[in-house]
Structure 1
Amino acid sequence: MRRSREMVTTVAITGALLIAAGLTGFASTDAATTNAVDAVAAIQDVAPAAVSGVAAAAADGDMAARATVAGETTVSVPVNAEGGVQLGAPGAGPDMTIGLPFADQAAMAADSREAGVVVFDNNNGSSTVPVIHQDGTTQIVTVINNENSPKRYDYLIKLHGGANLTLTDNGSVTVANADRSYEAEIAAPWAKDADGNALSTHYEVDGNTLTQVIDFNADTAFPVVADPSVITTTYTYSRADVERMWNTYQWYGTICNVVPGLNYMVSLLCPGGARLKDAVSSAHYQSKRVKATFYNCGFTYCNYYEYKVTS
């Protein structure tokens, strides 16, 4: 059963993604590997943070990489680009799917030989590099090879209940479903040439499609690296969720501290410890919900969740 909750997320489209070497299902030709290695090198040259602090991820079926970050969000990157990058709660279906540019013509995920990073060659002079970071950020980076490459990159965003995209004054985009039980913030875009100089770029919105437009010409230093990221996450658990969590506490108590391999409803109680348990208890007796907000300080050691009882 799908959990009803509000999720607020900051998304940036740039990218690098972590995957262990030797995973199956990737394009393995020399040309594919060379392109992947070159794409990651281009990112490292002008935006090294995009490919640092990558989360430990593993291949899983048709997913090239899957990792649970910040305790409550699972991010999955497909072997086939047409699957899109998926974000959701552990053990559940995706809350949000971000379609990748030119997915219908892109090659399968290729191993870049860089500590778990894979790359999609779009077969048009551009590559897409999704990245899952340890601190909860997800990036989807585009690497553009020459002046003949496309200048427009589409991201079809899907949410349960439909996706409404709103372009804000600061260049970022708000994504929400109809009842606003799920919300996301897509950070303002950026783009850099091979010398590290900023290039003009902006978002356009058409229905539930987000398009990043990058301005370059024959005089631009290539390759160009361009961006959209997910860094702050808020879940609001429904009354039904609260009661299930309350009942789980009654049955299992602190069992999550000593028994591995528990089911999702038990394991989701573990990261919050006493603070989450107190919030669930208060919400139970007040017939209210619990909001869990993830605060990203930029470093794994100081990230934390805050739990509040809400109506």
Structure 2
Amino acid sequence: MGLFNWGQSQEDKQQYEAFKSELNTLEGRLDTFLAKLDERVNILLSGFMEEAPSVMAEDDRFGQAYHRFSSAMKGQASSMREKLREVLEKQIEPVYQRYADVFSAESEAYRLLRDWRHRCARKADEWEDQLHHRVEEATEEVERKDYEPIFEQMMNTYWQQSKLVNCKQCGANLDIKQVYYYSAYVSCNYCQTQNIFEPGAMGRDIEHIARKLAEQRSKHFIDAHQQRKNEEQSLYQQMHELQLSLSAQERMTKSGPGYEKLRLLDAQRVQAENEAPELLDKYYRNIFDELTKLLPDLEEHHEKFFRSLQANYQRYESKRSTNL
């Protein structure tokens, strides 16, 4: 066909214009679809932020209702992301494959096709990044709370109520010297009777808020971890685009300006990839350290919590690498 030979006849020009028109039409449809997705995201997040306060106000102390509500919102956002990927896979990629099989890699038509594919993929990636940022921003806005005064007030209440606990045998005040989040035996200093001290919901709530406060104090580590993960993904995408633009000579000899830039990007990517789990480990370790400062009597319990966090992450990473 003249189109693929890049001829100068009228028929060739018409075919080339039809080819460009097809690409422009599909890209326009993608832009329209992204705009509609944005409208849905606006409705989803505005509704979430409007209803979340009332859900949280009527929730139990474990926040189960809010967790379900938040998970439902994130599930809908994930569904939009999947629909976008489906559009790329079923409408963009097949067109690229259809023409890529017949165009010469050095032809202007192929460069046009390749740039079109990269542009569509970049628009999708940017939309996904924006979606992630908006969901995180909305969630953080809803959940934003200063746990420092809440924890201090709960501790004051705990110590005040502990002074009102009396020995079941002699009636003397029991000397409660530590925070319990479970039932424990406390000896009476006067008659030595063993009394069961039941902190009830108060102790469990203190431990729960302490974790929230420890996470809040450790947030800079998890933010740095996510930033490094984002950098790794961005560098990978840059490498992918650069690889496609390398000349046949550069790919064959593995040398030249483009290939050297590729090596540099890969070194930066590997560094980000290595630092991300280290920062996550620092986040978990800092949570443990902060919990120990807040509730030193529960250090052993916190150590088990820290180990479980590490184990869960390791299982997740192992499963993720197996699926790649």
Scaled by the length of structure 2, what TM-score is found? Answer: 0.21
**Relative contact order, higher structure (CA 8 A, sep 6+):** 1
Structure 1 or 2: more helix by fraction: 2
Answer with 1 or 2: which has the greater Rg. Answer: 2
Scaled by the length of structure 1, what TM-score is found? Answer: 0.22
